[in-house]
Amino acid sequence: MCDAGLAASANVVGVSLGGILGHCMCTGGAVLGGRQMAAYVAERTLAVIFFFIFWLRAAALASCHDCWKVQTFLFLSNHLLKGSTF
């Protein structure tokens, strides 16, 4: 949503290229970081850690006053927990 507003008020090509470059950097960092993390930490340990992070984030979103954010998060988390695809 922010990209659309930024593109409307700024250079569309610059915003698009910046978004693509930022996405590539984040994805590359996640892949390399995940590979390093897998070498040192067990998969079950990560599952337990991210389980708690997931529910802490859910509690934080539930306390926010923007209902659409909470509803979207709960909808997505419900589908991800069931293993559904979109």
Q: What pLDDT does residue 60 have?
A: 75
* pLDDT tens per residue across span 63-78: 766 666 666 666 666 6
Question: Higher confidence at residue 86 or residue 53?
Answer: 53
Residue 45 has pLDDT above 80, yes or no: yes
| Average confidence score pLDDT of the chain | 76
Give residue limits of the domains in the chain.
1-40, 42-86
* pLDDT tens per residue across span 1-21: 455 566 566 677 877 788 889
Residue 86's identity, in one-letter code, is F
| Token reading at 36 | 């390093």
Q: What pLDDT does residue 24 have?
A: 92
**Pick from 6, 31, 32: which is nearest to 18 by CA?**
6
